[in-house]
């Protein structure tokens, strides 16, 4: 039974986007994934940079090369969909980049780095109306989602989206604001999972380090581990579905109370419950800039 971390956001395919330029570099990045404790990854190229129809064959080529090189990483196909491109994909292309079982398929949708929140909401609504759940890639880097006491982020969470926080944000690689947002999400229980968004040696996977840092802030170690292992694995196996209208009408607090176990995630029955219990008082206080 595989029990390592699962990385649902990594630019691993060779020569298609700003990830590895060739297969050798892909194998190097895969080795870094394994060294980070990851045994399963989804290759998530920027969808606009790749012929989506070619993704399955490219992923098969990578898996063949990994086996030949003796690198114990299993790769599944996927894609990071930009909000602006969401409406342009055909149903077949959406299916190619989606994950999860029938009835609970979901797509990795990029929170725009230029802060175009309205575009993001429109794209997410379009995907939901097509029946897909949303895993929101690095919302902590889309600062307007945090305006008005996180109103934009909470809108997505209420509609069933899960938030993928990047480990590199937790470590401060994308600036103090993204780091502050990431810690704020962890503290509020709004982080649905951690993923690397790794691109290569200069932007390597860092789940292990992020778990260590989050625990240093006061996050329960079992929860921190679940964000990198049990939750992303459950997303692949059990999937995620968008909320129904009735479910979406629930305030987040009610959703939290609905799960006496404290908030697990991702399964069909439990997909409306996505909050971890609030972190311990003082969580994040070890990060000086949080108080500034
Ligand atoms: Fe990415």
CA of 9 to the centre of ligand 1 (A): 6
Distance 19 CA to ligand 1 centre (A): 9
Confidence band for 282, pLDDT divided at 50, 70 and 90? low
Q: Are 40 and 7 in contact (CB under 8 A)?
A: yes
Which pLDDT score is estimated for 241? 67
Ligand 1 centre to CA of 254 (Å) is: 32
Percent of the chain with pLDDT over 70: 82
Distance 131 CA to ligand 1 centre (A): 23
Q: Is residue 37 part of a domain?
A: no
- Tell me, in angstroms, the distance from the centre of ligand 1 to residue 205's CA: 12
Alpha carbon of 86 to ligand 1 centroid (Å): 15
Cα 253 from Cα 255, distance rounded (Å): 5
pTM for the model: 0.86
Kindly state whether residue 69 falls inside one of the protein's structural domains.
no
Number of domains in the chain: 1
Distance from the alpha carbon of residue 138 to the mean position of ligand 1, in angstroms: 8
Tell me the mean pLDDT in the region 260-266: 31
For 99-120, write each residue's pLDDT tens digit: 999 888 999 999 999 999 999 9
Distance 46 CA to ligand 1 centre (A): 7
Task: Please give the average per-residue pLDDT across 250-262, as a whole number.
Answer: 35
| Within a domain: 36 | no
CATH code of the domain containing 208:
3.20.20
Ligand 1 centroid–CA 20 distance in Å is 13
Describe the strand order of the beta sheet including 5-10 as a list of residue ranges.
5-10, 38-43, 74-77
For residue 64, being part of any structural domain is answered with no
252 C-alpha to center of ligand 1: Å? 28
Q: Which residue range(s) make up the domain with 89?
A: 80-190+200-291
| Residue 135 forms part of a structural domain | yes
| Residue 283 Cα to ligand 1 middle (Å) | 27
Is the pLDDT confidence value at 3 over 60?
yes
CA of 33 to the centre of ligand 1 (A): 15
- Inside any domain, residue 74: no
């Amino acid at each position: 039974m595989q029990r390592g971390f699962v990385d649902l956001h990594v630019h691993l395919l060779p020569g298609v986007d700003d990830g590895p330029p060739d297969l050798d570099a892909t194998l190097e990045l895969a080795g870094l994934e394994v060294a980070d404790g990851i045994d399963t990854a989804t290759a998530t190229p920027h969808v606009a940079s790749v012929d989506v129809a070619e993704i399955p064959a490219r992923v098969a080529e990578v898996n063949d090369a990994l086996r030949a090189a003796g690198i114990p990483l299993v790769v599944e196909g996927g894609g990071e969909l930009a909000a602006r491109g969401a409406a342009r994909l055909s149903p077949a292309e959406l299916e190619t980049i989606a994950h999860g079982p029938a009835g609970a398929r979901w797509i990795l949708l990029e929170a725009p780095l230029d802060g175009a929140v309205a575009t993001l909401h429109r794209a997410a609504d379009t995907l939901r109306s097509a029946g897909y759940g949303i895993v929101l890639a690095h919302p902590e880097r889309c600062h307007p989602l945090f305006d008005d006491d996180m109103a934009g982020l909470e809108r997505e969470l209420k509609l069933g989206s899960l938030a993928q926080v990047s480990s590199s944000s937790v470590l401060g690689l994308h600036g103090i604001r993204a780091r502050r947002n990431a810690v704020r999400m962890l503290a509020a229980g709004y982080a649905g999972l951690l993923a690397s968004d790794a691109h290569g040696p200069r932007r390597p996977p860092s789940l292990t380090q992020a778990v260590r840092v989050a625990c240093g802030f006061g996050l329960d170690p079992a929860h921190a581990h679940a964000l990198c292992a049990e939750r992303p694995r459950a997303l692949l196996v059990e999937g995620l579905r968008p909320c129904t209208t009735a479910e979406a009408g629930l305030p987040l607090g009610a959703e939290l109370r609905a799960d006496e176990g404290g908030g697990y995630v991702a399964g069909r029955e439990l997909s409306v419950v996505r909050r971890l219990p609030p972190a311990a008082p003082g969580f994040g206080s070890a990060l000086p800039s949080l108080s500034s």
